[in-house]
Every structure is written in structure tokens, then in C-alpha cells.
């Protein structure tokens, strides 16, 4: 197929082999943890414990406000990889505030 690299954020096309756990999350949440799409919350700078809890809550059905996208991902990822992804995103710089007009 020519070997070209294509990128896609469709949940059913995410390749999970040979990639770091946060690269999977980055397909939706942004690899720098700053999401370009309002539908996907930014993860950069969030506390690791918060990220881990949300992922577990989606996985275990305690949180389900995302149309099933997180549950599909969270059920594929092991506890060790959840912790790795949480550590990765928490270490990144959080996004700047949306607007200073709100003050």
C-alpha cells in the first residue's frame, strides 16, 4: 500500500500494537495533552490520580457521558498502561486559559 503514513482519530481504526499507551490516548486528547477538539478534554497537567480514576470509571461503567469512546479504549488498556499514560499527560504543560475576557 505504498507505506504512507496516514493519521486518523476514528476509534475503530486505532492501532494499538507497538505504540506507547499515551499515543493511543493522543489520537483523541492530543499527543501534547492539549486537545484541538472541544469534544475531547485536554489531559495535560491533570493530576495522575484524577486521570487514572476517570479511565477506570469509564472502563467500569461508572462514567458514560462520552458516547462509549472511552469505555472502548479503557477496556483495552491494562492498569500498568493507564498509570503510564497518566504519568505522561500529567507531566505536560496545561493549555493556556481560553480567554482573558472572562475575568
Identity of the residue, 85 or 92, whose beta carbon is nearer to ligand HEC in the bound complex: 85
Q: How near is the Cβ of 24 to ligand HEC at its closest, in Å? A: 5
Cα dihedral 2, 3, 4, 7 in deg (nearest 10): 130
Decide whether 60 or 69 has the Cβ nearer to ligand HEC. 69
User: Cα separation of 2 and 82, whole Å?
Assistant: 34
Euclidean distance between CA atoms 36 and 46, whole angstroms: 17
- Can you give the binding site for ligand HEC, defined by CB under 6 A? 11, 14, 21, 24-25, 27-29, 39-41, 43, 51, 54-55, 65-66, 69-70, 73, 77, 85
Amino acid at each position: 500500500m505504498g507505506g504512507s503514513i496516514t493519521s486518523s482519530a476514528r476509534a475503530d481504526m486505532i492501532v494499538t500494537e507497538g505504540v506507547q499507551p499515551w499515543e493511543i490516548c493522543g489520537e483523541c486528547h492530543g499527543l501534547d495533552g492539549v486537545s484541538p477538539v472541544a469534544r475531547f478534554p485536554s489531559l495535560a497537567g491533570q493530576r495522575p490520580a484524577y486521570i487514572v480514576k476517570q479511565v477506570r470509571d469509564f472502563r467500569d461503567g461508572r462514567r458514560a457521558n462520552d458516547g462509549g469512546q472511552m469505555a472502548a479504549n479503557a477496556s483495552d488498556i491494562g492498569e500498568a498502561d493507564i498509570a503510564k499514560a497518566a504519568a505522561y499527560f500529567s507531566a505536560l504543560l496545561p493549555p493556556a486559559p481560553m480567554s482573558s475576557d472572562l475575568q
